[in-house]
Chains A and B, each alone.
Chain A
């Protein structure tokens, strides 16, 4: 989905704020949230894409105003509620206030054949274009490369295509590639000659460049 999580290229966020000698966990609740998230994912056997999409469908204001461990907490808890283990009302009662959860999942598995593909269609050096489809559900094709042209820089073997599994589809193998885009292709006059961005993409995201 074209959510606020899909941050590549958005403008207006200002300087990166680096904390010197940052601890692994800043506060006790971060460690506990990390542990609860792990516990929920192991217990529910959640697919990685479904968990990521739990974060992606957070309310955008909540997403931008909370830390990453709160994102993990929100996604894991949303999945626990959706699995029927507790009601949202009961969670609010136990927390002693409103427990914000992610919005309902509007995604469906893409309408593509759900069968394993392990033989890569492209070779290093091939020119290709990223399909442009802006799904309602989970994808690992960032918005800033959809519709853009690039060159295959590296073949990485086949791995599980997350867009199916995140929405209840099958676990399906698909070849993955590292694709090189020029800064000019991505950002036009706002780009810079010579600089390049590599994005790792599944073959089902790609089409031949006409």
Chain B
């Protein structure tokens, strides 16, 4: 990560040229950790439990189960579109960054795209932690301004007669896109359908 080790990133000391070289990011993490530990404010076991939950239990497989269920069960789909939080909880998913879920449906006439222009809001229980590109300036700046150009560049051209609806999750709601069921999947079981659903299709940067 060479960009962490060169130059000065500006300074809170009020001038632009800090005499000391920038500390490597690993050393900065260790420094703040040591401060928290000294103050008895760092419960390693509890915190590791939270981190491990992100690593092992939260991820797009959860969202894929929601989507596959909606594809095979019209009543579930109706509940999902009516009250996303409650319908997602039926499958056992919920919690932080998933307390106010809205599911938006792709149709032959409408394509939905989710972004957080201000930071990195993302539905953790159904998609996990966001990928780096979702948090990066290129995606956040362009999704609301030129979504059609952006999607085409990302390999998802949207036909001219399809409306694009962008959702900027700037408050408490977190969004999940319900992608269209791909053609030729009529004979597949629910568990087989789950494997067809991608993370990107639930953000709206891909179609299936």
Contacts and interface: CB of A to CB of B under 8 A. Distances in A.
Interface of A: 5-11, 13-19, 22, 24-29, 31-36, 38-40, 42-43, 52, 55, 59-62, 64-68, 70, 73, 76-77, 80, 85-86, 88, 90-92, 94-104, 140-142, 144, 154, 156, 159, 176, 178, 186-187, 190, 192, 194-202
DSSP majority for the B interface?
A: mixed
Interface of B: 1, 3-4, 8-12, 18, 20-36, 39, 41-43, 47-48, 50-51, 54-55, 59, 100, 102, 117-120, 128-129, 131-133, 135-142, 144-145, 147-148, 150, 153-154, 163-173
A80 B35 contact: yes
29 contacts: A7-B117, A8-B117, A8-B168, A13-B138, A14-B138, A18-B154, A24-B129, A28-B26, A33-B29, A36-B29, A38-B51, A39-B41, A61-B10, A65-B9, A68-B136, A77-B32, A80-B35, A100-B9, A100-B22, A140-B118, A140-B170, A144-B117, A144-B144, A176-B173, A187-B145, A196-B165, A198-B168, A200-B169, A201-B170
Given A39-B36, A86-B35, A97 B10 contact: no
Residue in B25, B51, B150 whose Cβ sees the most chain A Cβ within 10 Å: B25
Given A59-B9, A96-B23, A192-B148, A68 B141 contact: no
Contacts of B147: 195
Given A95-B30, A104-B12, A176-B171, A70 B35 contact: no
B132 A178 contact: no
Contacts, number: 240
B118 A6 contact: yes
Contacts of A13: 137-138, 141-142
A120 to B, nearest CB: 14
B144 A186 contact: yes
Contacts of A142: 117-118, 168, 170
